Amino acid sequence: MKILVCISNVPDTTTKIKFAEGNTSIDTSGIQWVINPWDELSLTRALELKDDALSGVKSVTVAHVGPAGSEPTIRKALAIGADDAVRVNYIAPDAYSVAAQLAEVIKKEGFDIVMCGIESSDFNGSAVGGMISEFLAIPSVSSVSGLKIEDGIPVLTREIDGGRESVKVPVPFVAVVQKGIAKEPRIASMRGIMTARTKPVRLYEPVAAESLTETARFEKPAPRAACKYIDPENPAQLIELLQNEAKVI
C-alpha cells in the first residue's frame, strides 16, 4: 500500500506578512517557510502506519506544487521520514490549479491513500483535498481525525456533530485530515537530516490547467481598538456600548 501526503509550503505563524506591488502580492523576503501544520500531522500519521508491520504500508511519498525555492521544505519532510518526494514546478494561482496538478501526479504514479491537511495556514481555503477526489473520481472523506488499517482495509474516524463516527473506505481514496490525526508532529533526527540529502525528489512539469479565481488585492485586518474600562457601578454605560457600538445585543 502506498500513501501520498500533499504538503503546502507556508509562512511560519510568527512571520509578519508584508505586501508588494500595490497590495496585489505577498512580499516573500525574510519569510521563514515551514510545512503546513495539518500536512505535517498527516505525514506523521502516515509514517506511524508505515512503522506498523501489520498495516501493509510500504512507502510514504510527499508531493508539493511550487517553485524550486520550496525544496528546503520538501527536504524537511524527507528528513522527518518520507521515502521520496514529487515537486510540480509551478506557481499555482489558486486551489483549483493546485488540485489539478496533484491529480495528474497521482494518475501517473498511483497511490492507495492520498492525505491532505484540512486547510493551509496561509489561505485557509479547505478546498484542495475535495477537488483532487473530483478530478480522480475517487471517494474522499472529510474531517478525518483518525486513520488505521484493519485486515488491509482503511478505517477512518470522523468528527461529527455530537460525537465521532468510524467509516471503512475502499482504496484509492482521499483523506482530508484535521487536528487529532497524530498527537505531535514527528521531529527529524540527525540521521534523517543526513539521509534526506540523497532521497529522490522527482520533478514534474505542470500540465495545462485553468485557474478559476484571481486575487485582486490583499488587506490587513483593521487594528484592534483600545480597551474600554467601564465602572462596575455603571451597567447602563456597558449596555449602551454593547447595543450601539459593539452591536452584539
Convert the pLDDT of each residue in 187-230 to its tens digit.
Answer: 999 999 999 999 999 999 999 988 888 888 888 888 887 888 89
Measured distance CA(218)–CA(25) in Å, rounded:
7
pLDDT at 130 over 90: yes
Convert the pLDDT of each residue in 157-189 to its tens digit.
Answer: 998 888 889 999 999 999 999 989 999 999 999
Provide DSSP, 95-131. Answer: HHHHHHHHHHHHHHH--SEEEEES--TTT----HHHH
Q: Quote the pLDDT of residue 247.
A: 85
What contacts 150, CB < 8 A, 6 or more positions away?
A: none
Domain contains 65: yes
Give the mean model confidence (pLDDT) for residues 98-107: 96
Domain contains 61: yes
Q: pLDDT above 90 covers what percent of the chain?
A: 71
pTM of the predicted model as reported, rounded to 2 decimal places = 0.86
Measured distance CA(202)–CA(115) in Å, rounded:
19
Domain contains 248: no
Domain contains 111: yes
Provide DSSP, 218-246. Answer: --PPPPPPPP----TT-HHHHHHHHHHTS
For the chain, first and last CA: distance in Å?
A: 55
Domain contains 10: yes
Q: Quote the pLDDT of residue 138.
A: 97
Domain contains 59: yes
pLDDT at 21 over 90: no
Domain containing 108 — which CATH number?
Answer: 3.40.50.620
**What domain count does the chain have?**
1
Q: Quote the pLDDT of residue 228.
A: 85
pLDDT at 139 over 90: yes
Domain contains 165: yes
Domain contains 238: no
Q: In terms of residue numbers, what domain contains 153? A: 2-221
Adjacent-strand bridge partners of 203? 87
Give the mean model confidence (pLDDT) for residues 101-107: 97
Convert the pLDDT of each residue in 64-89 to its tens digit.
Answer: 999 999 999 999 999 999 999 999 99
State the sign of the Cα–Cα–Cα–Cα dihedral 167, 168, 173, 178.
Answer: positive
